[in-house]
Amino acid sequence: MTEDFGFRQRTMVRKLEEKGIRDARVLAAMAEVPRELFVGEHLRSQAYEDFALPIGGGQTISQPWVVARMTELLRLDESHSVLEIGTGSGYQTAVLAKLAQWVYSLERVGDLARRAIRRLRELGFDNVKIQSFDGSIGWSDRAPFDRILVTAGAPKAPPPLLDQLAVGGRMVVPEGGRDRQRLVVYRKLRHGVRREVGEGVSFVPLTGRHGWVSDEK
């Protein structure tokens, strides 16, 4: 029997609304991106449940509510250029690409980056560029960015990312310990930066020059 992913996707979106997601464009994007294609076949039956799932390389695809909330906090429009740190499966990338003009995404795990590139190409996204690189350094050649989204937990906002954020721009980053963080929104003003602390979350650690020291040998 073929699984009805459409029904599960609609149910997920309805539950996101019930949990407080209000941005209609974010909800519409998540109603369009087929989340089941961003996880392994053995996990597809769980693709629309509201929890994170493993995708290999010690990484996860974030739970739908977290994807929706972080995207909502960015306040995207179709003219924006977005930098995403942590491509992972490419699901969050696809949601961003539905809402912005360009998405530039960095993923330190080469195999994940290659799979995400292939998957997004197959789905017809032509406004996404992905590279395998240390995301904590950012992508200076493409800066400044109107919006920056960090999808891994950082001890603090990496300075290069704040430098690459355009005046008037917003960055969302999970800040805190290696296991638990809070969503922090940075607004770059002409004469400084405003910082707002939000909900508690749990992400895999951001590793790299301006993140946590990797446990890898």
How far apart (Å, rounded) are the C-alpha atoms in residues 55 and 40? 7
Residue 217 has pLDDT above 70, yes or no: no
- Containing domain of residue 76, as a range? 64-201
Please identify every residue annotated as catalytic: 62
pLDDT tens, residue by residue, 14-42:
999 999 999 999 999 999 999 999 999 99
β-pairing, 145-150 with 81-85? Answer: parallel
How far apart (Å, rounded) are the C-alpha atoms in residues 19 and 33? 20
Contacts of 78 (CB under 8 A, 6+ apart): 99, 100, 101
CB 181 within 8 A of CB 187: no
How far apart (Å, rounded) are the C-alpha atoms in residues 189 and 168? 6
Q: Say if 89 falls within a structural domain.
A: yes
pLDDT tens, residue by residue, 50-64:
999 999 988 999 999
**Could you tell me the CA-to-CA distances from 166 to 79, 91, 145, 188 in Å, in that order?**
13, 25, 5, 7
How far apart (Å, rounded) are the C-alpha atoms in residues 157 and 109? 21
How far apart (Å, rounded) are the C-alpha atoms in residues 43 and 45? 6
pLDDT tens, residue by residue, 71-113:
999 999 999 999 999 999 999 999 999 999 999 999 999 999 9
pLDDT of residue 58: 86
Structure tokens at 175: 């800040």
Residue 215 has pLDDT above 70, yes or no: no
Residue 168 has pLDDT above 80, yes or no: yes
pLDDT band of residue 3 (cuts 50, 70, 90) is confident
**pTM of the shown model:** 0.95
Looking at residues 157-176, what average pLDDT do you find? 98
Q: Say if 217 falls within a structural domain.
A: no
Q: Say if 103 falls within a structural domain.
A: yes
pLDDT of residue 213: 84
Measured N-to-C along each axis, helices 91-99 and 24-32 cross at an angle, to the nearest 10 degrees, of 130
**What's the total number of domains in the chain?**
1
For residue 88, give the CATH number of its domain.
Answer: 3.40.50.150
How far apart (Å, rounded) are the C-alpha atoms in residues 110 and 68? 26
Looking at residues 148-174, what average pLDDT do you find? 97
Residue 146 has pLDDT above 90, yes or no: yes
pLDDT of residue 57: 85
Q: Say if 54 falls within a structural domain.
A: no
